[in-house]
Every structure is written in C-alpha cells, then in structure tokens.
Amino acid sequence: MTKKIFRSICSVAVCITLAVLAIILGVLYNYYSDIQRQRLDTQAEYVASAVELDGMNYLNKIDDKTYRMTWIDKNGKVLFDNEANTDEMGNHLERSEVKQAIMTGKGSADRYSETLTEHLYYTAVRLDDGSVMRLSVNELSWWALLLAMLQPIIIVFLVAVLVSLYFAYRLSKKIVEPLNQINLDKPDDAKVYEELTPLLEKVRIQKKQIKNQQLELEKKRNEFEAATENMSEGIILLNSDGVIISINKTASRLLGISSYCVGKDLLLFSSGVEVQELLRKAENGKHSEIILDIDDVSYHFSATPIMSGDKVTGVALIIFDFTEMEKAEEVRREFTANVSHELRTPLQTIAGSAELLSNGMVAEKDVPQFSQKIYKEAKRLITLVEDIIKLSHLDEESSDIISEKVDLYDVSKMTVTNLTPVAEKAGVELAVKGEPSIITGKSQLLTSIVFNLCDNAIKYNRPGGRVEVEVKNCVDCVKLSVSDTGIGIPLDQQSRIFERFYRVDKSRSKEVGGTGLGLSIVKHAAKLHNAEIELRSVVGKGTTIILTFPK
C-alpha cells in the first residue's frame, strides 16, 4: 500500500508540474506574441513616416533584416521589398491588410506567406500619396519558444520531481503509519480516518461473527464428543489420506489403540487386510461393510465416504456390536413362533370340528353350533393373516404406497362412518369432531391407524360406552386422539401394548376376535409418518391414544 500511495503522489506531482509548465509556456507565448505585434505596429508607423519624408532612398539605406518591408502603390504593385524580387511578386491590392489600410489608413493580418513559405504577421500603413507601407515579421512558434526555454524547463522539472519524490515518500509513510497501528483485536479503539469507520465496523462485526462461529463449533464439537464418547458403537473419522481426525473411546477400546492417535494413519494401528480393503473402497467413493470377530465377539465395520461434490474428503468408520443383529434375529424367530401358535389354534379348532362333522359324530341339533365355530375361527384366521400381511408390508416401509396430501379429518369421518354399524351392534356411541387438517402421508396407512384405534376402542369398551375421535389442526402439527370409556390398561402393561400379539385381557381379546396386532400396526404406520404416540389410560375409566403428526 505504501508503494502504491508513493507512486500515486509522484504521478500526480509530475502531471501537475507538466501541466503548470504547459500553462506557463502558453502564457509566455501569448505575451511574446503581443509584444512582437506591438513592436511591429510601432515600427510600421516609424518606417511610414520616414518613407513619407525620404521615399525610396530611406528604404535602400536600411540593412536591418528584422522586419520584412514592402512598399505597395495605390494600384497594388509592389514598389519595394527587402526580401523578395519585386518583379516576381504579384499584385497585392487584394491582400486583406492592404485593402484595410487603403480604406481605414491602417490594417493587419496573420497568415501563411506562400512567397516566403513562413507564417507571418502583417501591419500596413497608408501614406499620403495613397501608397501602402507594409511590415511583417515571423510569428513566434511554440517550438521556438520551447527550445528557447528548454534549459530552465528541464531544471524546474527535475527540481519538481525530486521535491515530489521526497514529499511522496514522507506522505506515504505518514498516511500508512496509523493504519499499521490499528489493533484488529479492538477495532473500536482505532481512531484513524473517518473514511475507515465502515471498514472498522465490518471488521468488528466479522470478528464477532467469527467468535460466535468458533463458540458454536466448539459447542458442536463438545456435543459430538459427548454423544460419541458414551456410544456403544465405535466411531472413527478419517481424512482423505486415512489420517485419524476423531475417535471415540469405544473405537479405541475395540481396536486396542490410544485416543492420542489423532493425527496418525489408522493403518499404523490396524494392519488387518480386511480393514485396509474396507478403507480403500471407501476412499474410492464406495460404501462397504465387513463383519470381524474381536475377542470372540462379532463386530460390524461400516465405512462410508464423506463427499464434497464429486470428491472424497474423508471416511466415517462405524463399528458396532453385531450381537444386536442376533437379538433382532431372535425377535424374528419369536414372531415366527407366535404366528405359528396363533395360526395353529384356529386351524386346530377348524380341523377338529370339520373332522367331527365329516365323520357324522355330531348330533343333528349341534351341527349349526359346530358350523358357527368353524366360521368364527376361519374369520379370525383370515383377520389374523390380513394383520400379519399388513405388518410385513409395514416392515418393508410400504414403498409401493405413494405419499400425498391427505385430510386426516376426512379420513377419520369416513372410518367412523364405516365402523358405526359395528359400534351400534356393541352398544357403543361413536363420534368424530375436529376440523380439516392436511398432512403429507399415505392414505391407506392413515385409514388403518384410525380404523385400528377405533376398532380397539369399540371392542374393549362396555355397553353404553362412548368412543370419540378428535382431529386438531395445530401450527406445526396435526393431532389425532381416540378416547374411549372402556376397561382401561393397567400401568404395568401400558409399555407393552404395542408389541406384536400382546393382549391385556387375553380372554376378552379372543371373545371379541382380537389378533393382538392392531396396535402394532398403528405403531409401525405412525413411525412411517414420523408421528409421536402418547398413551393415557386409567383402569375402569377408559383410554386415550394421541398421535402427533408433523406437517
């Protein structure tokens, strides 16, 4: 910046000096031209008077070649010229200065002389006999003046340049010095130039923003470390060169390395071929997974590339205990066993009753009773199979069902209308209230949620009871609540009612045809809609289930 200011000041000084010199030359040129013309006019008057007295004799005696002298008669013929041959000169009667002198007694002109090929200034004076005495002189040119003044001009220019260099150096230093003394840590304390106030204000604001960002980053880093340090899964973050950026305690323990390994290559601590291959694939932009046995425990290694545009900037390596997967497998086997058990019971009843009927071992009067039992169990079996299919479908996240804008209030009204005959048969009053509430979801699953909640509320109610469905449209969510005046759910069982095949009252459930899967379907469908479930229940007074759907 100092050099730039120095160069600018020098350039301005040189330009001003040149401009001043040009102005001075212009003033001098005009001054000398005026002096020259005044002298010519005076000399012309003097020569005219002398010619009046002595005529041609006076002209012939003059040896001074300072002025060009021309005597012209009243007819325009040149009688005398001290610089040209009069015989070769044409008639001068039409010359402007001659015409003006004949008419007014005196004339002047400024023009290029074709005879002498010079730029001349002419002054003409009329004599008593009508002839004209004309004097001319070469006009002072710019170049002549410049050459005459060249030496002083060069001296003045050099002095001006040297003085400019000196003051430019001093000024540039003085201008920049306060800027160099600005304390950017305390920009408000800087009292430099008024023009820098906006800049210092921006520095102050940016410094504050940077400080806030640093605090936020520090906070997020602490939160990340607090979250990852207590995780059962091991997490390692690597840069694009495989150098460890972050590692939590679990990963350190699983790999048997110190947490002080940050900044070093992971392969220095883990020479396993599988891990090397895993990281190599991740660094090439491919997600990869492997399962390794460490201390007789199976661990799942998952390497995910961290992308910035099309470039891999790092790798996230996650290590977790594979025993969780085994637990999930155990749950699946338990579900299979429960399904087998739930299917076996109605099938055995159907098979036994059918066998008795086919062998004629049932009295005629008992045939309708056995037929009714077969129908009831078959219907229960169909319901059970349908619920199992629904659950399986939900486990696959219902990818074939399209999400759309759905009015949950319309869904609730339609479901209540369809279940009203069932409620009337059970002696239960079924009602719906609320307002139009639009959410984005899967219409079939939302209908299933409302249907299962209302169906349970009717089945586990008492004659003369009431079921009320309410849809409330909030600012950022929609709330669906189904309340009943039924038997209620004991506190110790409320945490399990959403498990598959779990029944609070098994005998009543079988009596009303429950499969134990209705609330499981509700839970899965709600999860797919990111909805939260809240349960409120008092034994003997009723139950309220509230689902909150984000808009």
For 377-388, what is the mean pLDDT? Answer: 63
Half-sphere CA count of 506, side-chain side, radius 13 A: 3
Which of 83-97, 215-229, 264-278, 310-324 has the lowest average pLDDT?
Answer: 264-278
Predicted confidence (pLDDT) at residue 325 exceeds the cutoff of 70: no
Instruction: Give the model's confidence band at 549: pLDDT under 50 very low, under 70 low, under 90 confident, else very high.
Output: very high
How many other CB atoms are there within 10 angstroms of residue 339's CB atom?
17
Residues 178-225 have pLDDT tens digits of 666 666 666 666 566 666 667 777 877 888 888 888 888 888 877 777
pLDDT for the residue numbered 509: 46
| Alpha helices in 140-293, H assignment, sequence order | 142-148, 150-180, 197-229, 249-255, 273-283
Q: How far apart are CA 219 and CA 213, in angstroms?
A: 10
| pLDDT exceeds cutoff 90 at 468 | yes
Categorize the per-residue pLDDT at 38 as very low, low, confident or very high, splitting at 50, 70 and 90: confident
- Across the beta sheet with 532-538, the strand order is 429-434, 466-473, 477-484, 542-550, 532-538
Reported confidence tier of residue 484, pLDDT bands at 50, 70, 90: very high
529 pLDDT higher than 80: yes
Q: Which of 382-386, 423-427, 500-504 has the lowest mean pLDDT?
A: 500-504
Pick the more confident residue, 268 or 404: 404
List beta partners, residue 549: 478
Above 50 in pLDDT, residue 513? Answer: no
DSSP lists the bridge partners of residue 288 as 303
Helices (H) and strands (E) in the chain, counts: 14, 17
Please give the structure tokens belonging to residue 235: 């997490």
Residue whose C-alpha is closest to residue 438's, from 462, 408, 468, 458: 408
Asked if residue 73 lies in contact with residue 65, where contact means CB atoms within 8 angstroms, the answer is no
Single pTM value for the model:
0.37
Q: If residue 191 lies in a helix (H) or strand (E), which one and from where to where?
A: none
pLDDT digits (tens, 9 = 90+) for 158-184: 888 888 787 777 777 777 766 666 666
Question: Residue 539's CB: how many other CB atoms inside 10 A?
Answer: 13
Q: Which residues pair with 315 in a beta bridge?
A: 238, 305
pLDDT of residue 512: 46
**Predicted pLDDT at 301:** 81
Scan for tokens 């429950």, then name that residue: 514
Q: What is the mean pLDDT of residues 381-398?
A: 59
102-106, 193-197, 405-409: lowest mean pLDDT where?
193-197
Burial of residue 71 (CB within 10 Å: 0-12, 13-18, 19+) is buried
Cα–Cα distance for residue pair 24/29, rounded to 1 Å: 8
Question: Under DSSP, is residue 38 helix (H, G, I), strand (E, B) or coil?
Answer: helix
> What confidence tier does 17 reach under pLDDT thresholds 50, 70, 90?
confident
Q: What is the mean pLDDT of the chain?
A: 77
How far are the Cα atoms of 283, 294, 305, 312, 313 from residue 309, in angstroms, in the given order? 14, 36, 12, 8, 9
The burial class, CB within 10 Å (0-12 / 13-18 / 19+), for 99 is middle
Q: What is the CA radius of gyration of the chain?
A: 57
